Amino acid sequence: MTGPGADTRKLLEMAAGSLWPNYRQQPVVFTRGEGSRLWDTDGREYVDFVAGIATCNLGHCHPAVTKAIQGQAARLLHVSNWYYNDIMARLAAKLTSLTSMNRVFFCNSGAEASEAAIKLARKRAFEKYGPGRNLIVSFHGAFHGRTMKALTATDPKHHDKAFSPYPGGFEHIRHGDLEAMAGHLPSACALFLEPVQGEGGVNVMDQTFLRKAAALCRQHDVLLMADEVQTGMGRCGTLFAHQAMGFVPDVMTLAKGLANGFPMGAVLAGEEIASVMGPGTHGSTFGGSALACAAALATLETLQSEGLPQRAALSGEQLRAGLQDLARRHDIVIEVRGMGLLLGMELTVPAAPLVGSLMTKGYLVTAVGERTLRFTPPLNIAGEDILGMLNALDLVLGEYGG
């Protein structure tokens, strides 16, 4: 692949000279997407195994979502939460009908959903028990967002001293450490977990441990809060990952794939739990806008009508089998893990160079941590595209493994 053209170089210089330097962005500028494919300013075509970091679960520019956004944009964008809007009501009813939780709060992102869930847990504990039971217990390897409380619930390795002091009232335990959990829960208001830690390295929580953790939470009246921001909306082979993992959360956070790339977050909870958040306790100016809700409702209806969670399970097995075959043939692969179409491949070498090499071959993947490749394609990705990426990865693993 040749280097970027003159127009692309100009755009890259414009962006690098004016944006915050807080991302390690690849030297590519995209202008168009359709299904599992993206095209850059030089007309190059890429097969997307990133999907906007697991947001475009239906693929890029799915006709149903595009139609919903266009139609809603011509009718009503936003009226604030001083009022209801019709599409918000329809989406809330649809979401709650698909879960054991019957109340929903809409916001704009996963981090904002984490913040709302943390406030909800602390408010509920304060109302029931008074001050003192405000601890949020989360896990090493966790990632719950980059705002201050969400970041504090995230693995401490992401805590930069330059941003201190961090909010108090958080503890992190190792996955599987029931003893540490039991020690913390008497003073806790919530256990906050991802069924599969996406950013932490695509680590799947053990189901036996999850069931025991859920029982401990019930015993101590501690909320079990599932962060399904990345695992939800069909990505792990069921609409929500907890449905396949044998536990039922009290609170669930959603974002990413909720509106197929349009900014949207949500927190779901049961009636008794949500009732503590009376008027004035929390809010979001843009949360639940008519436009975002239209995109989310179209996404949810399409996920169901096209059977995409089930398809993700089948395609995920194809991708996993191919990755495991590569693992057997390349010594630099340590392990393949994940669920559905949220899969990771841990390496003995840094993953970032392999991401760049795959991009030159027309395939987009991401790296999480230092040594893990992450694969999160659209849920309707074609089997031949999976085979194509596996063939390209076979070559790249050979280049870096000798």
Query: DSSP letters of 266-280?
Result: EEEE-HHHHTT--TT
CA-wise closest residue to 33 among 3, 74, 62: 62
Tell whether the torsion through CA atoms of 146, 152, 158 and 161 is positive or negative. positive
CA-wise closest residue to 82 among 293, 262, 283, 363: 283
CA-wise closest residue to 198 among 377, 370, 369, 379: 369
The residues that are catalytic are 143, 227, 256
Angle at 237 between CA 233 and CA 239, to 5 degrees: 35
CA distance 155 to 198: 12
CA-wise closest residue to 199 among 36, 370, 317: 370
Task: State the CB neighbour count (10 A cutoff) for residue 242.
Answer: 25
Query: DSSP letters of 255-269?
Result: -GGGGTTS--EEEEE
Residue linked to tokens 């755009």: 11
Task: State the CB neighbour count (10 A cutoff) for residue 274.
Answer: 18
Q: Are 164 and 199 in contact (CB under 8 A)?
A: no
Task: State the CB neighbour count (10 A cutoff) for residue 6.
Answer: 8
CA distance 75 to 77: 7
Question: Which phi-psi region, left, alpha or beta, contains residue 35 (left: φ > 0; alpha: ψ -120 to 50)?
Answer: left
Q: What 3-state class would DSSP assign to 254?
A: strand
* Helices and strands, counts by H and E, the chain: 13, 17
Task: Provide the pairing of β-strand 37-40 with 251-254.
Answer: unpaired
